[in-house]
Amino acid sequence: MKRIAIIGGGISGLSAAHALEEQRRQTGAALEYTLYESSSQLGGVLRTEQIDGCIVEAGPDSFITEKPWAADLCRNLGLGDQLIGSNDADRKTYILVRGRLIAMPDGLMFMVPTKILATGFSPLFSWKTKLRMGSELFHPPRAVEGDETVASFVERHYGAEMVDCLADPLLSGVYGGEAASLSVRAVLPRFAEMEQSHGSLGRAMLAARKKMSQAAKRPAPPLFTSLKNGMQHLAEAVVSRLSPASLVTNALVQAVQPEAGGWVVSAEMQSDHFDAVVLAVPTHSAARLLSICSPELAAELAGIPYSSSITVVLGFDREVRQSLPPGFGFLVPRSEGKQMLAATFVHNKFPYRAPEDRALLRCFFAGKSAESVWGLSDEQIVGIIRNELQQILGLRAAPLFARVYRWKSAMAQYGVGHLDRLDRIERLRQKLPGLALAGNGYRGIGVPDCVRSGRDAAKELTPIA
Ligand SMILES: Cc1cc2nc3c(=O)[nH]c(=O)nc-3n(C[C@H](O)[C@H](O)[C@H](O)COP(=O)(O)OP(=O)(O)OC[C@H]3O[C@@H](n4cnc5c(N)ncnc54)[C@H](O)[C@@H]3O)c2cc1C
Nearest residue by C-alpha to atom 29 in ligand 1:
44
Phi and psi at residue 5, to the nearest 5°: -100, 140
Distance CA(41)–CA(38), nearest Å, equals 8
Nearest residue by C-alpha to atom 37 in ligand 1:
281
Q: Which atom of ligand 1 lies closest to the CA of 289?
A: 41
Task: Give residue 237 CA to ligand 1 midpoint distance, Å.
Answer: 17
pLDDT in tens, 67-103: 999 999 999 999 999 999 999 888 899 999 999 999 9
Q: List Cβ neighbours of 174 (8 Å cut-off, separation of 6 or more).
A: 445, 446
Crossing angle (nearest 10°) for helices 69-76 and 11-27: 50
pLDDT value, residue 465: 45
Task: Give residue 50 CA to ligand 1 midpoint distance, Å.
Answer: 20
Query: How many C-beta neighbours within 10 Å does residue 394 have?
Result: 9
C-alpha pair distances (Å), 341 with each of 327, 362, 387: 17, 11, 14
pLDDT in tens, 395-445: 999 999 999 999 999 999 999 999 999 999 999 999 999 999 999 999 999
pLDDT value, residue 216: 63
Phi and psi at residue 70, to the nearest 5°: -75, -45
pLDDT value, residue 326: 96
CB-neighbour burial class of residue 352 (10 A; exposed 0-12, middle 13-18, buried 19+)? middle
Tell me which amino acid residue 462 is: T
Query: Cβ(53)–Cβ(354) under 8 Å?
Result: yes
pLDDT in tens, 314-351: 999 999 999 999 999 999 999 999 999 999 999 999 99
Question: Mean pLDDT for the chain?
Answer: 94
Nearest residue by C-alpha to atom 20 in ligand 1:
447
Task: Give residue 62 CA to ligand 1 midpoint distance, Å.
Answer: 13
Task: Give residue 56 CA to ligand 1 midpoint distance, Å.
Answer: 17
Q: Which atom of ligand 1 lies closest to the CA of 36?
A: 43
Res. 246: pLDDT tops 70:
yes
Percent of the chain with pLDDT over 70: 98
Q: Which atom of ligand 1 lies closest to the CA of 41?
A: 49
Distance CA(139)–CA(200), nearest Å, equals 5
Under the banding of pLDDT at 50, 70 and 90, the label for residue 215 is low
pLDDT in tens, 348-367: 999 999 999 999 999 999 99
Q: Of 12-16, 211-215, 413-417, 434-438, which gets the smallest average pLDDT?
A: 211-215
pLDDT value, residue 213: 67
Q: Which atom of ligand 1 lies closest to the CA of 310?
A: 1
Query: Residue 162 half-sphere exposure, CB side, CA atoms within 13 Å?
Result: 25
Smallest CA-to-CA distance from 64 within 190, 153, 181 is with 190
Distance CA(275)–CA(289), nearest Å, equals 17
The predicted model scores a pTM of 0.96
pLDDT value, residue 431: 96
Q: Which atom of ligand 1 lies closest to the CA of 253?
A: 42
Task: Give residue 47 CA to ligand 1 midpoint distance, Å.
Answer: 10
Task: Give residue 139 CA to ligand 1 midpoint distance, Å.
Answer: 39
Domains along the chain?
A: 2-42+235-305+414-461 (3.50.50.60), 108-215 (1.10.3110.10), 307-412 (3.90.660.20)
Residue 360 Rama label (left phi>0; alpha psi -120 to 50; beta): beta
Q: Which atom of ligand 1 lies closest to the CA of 63?
A: 11
Under the banding of pLDDT at 50, 70 and 90, the label for residue 214 is low
C-alpha pair distances (Å), 353 with each of 15, 114, 236, 315, 317: 26, 32, 19, 11, 14
Res. 464: pLDDT tops 90:
no
Task: Give residue 355 CA to ligand 1 midpoint distance, Å.
Answer: 28
Res. 6: pLDDT tops 90:
yes
Res. 217: pLDDT tops 80:
no
pLDDT value, residue 109: 83
Distance CA(436)–CA(276), nearest Å, equals 8
Task: Give residue 78 CA to ligand 1 midpoint distance, Å.
Answer: 23
Q: Of 5-9, 209-213, 307-311, 457-461, which gets the smallest average pLDDT?
A: 209-213
Res. 211: pLDDT tops 80:
no
Ligand 1 shell residues, CB under 6 Å = 7-13, 36-39, 44-46, 59-63, 252-253, 280-282, 285, 309, 311, 407, 410-411, 439-440, 445-447, 450
Q: List Cβ neighbours of 458 (8 Å cut-off, separation of 6 or more).
A: 4, 15, 16, 17, 19, 20, 23, 278, 436, 465
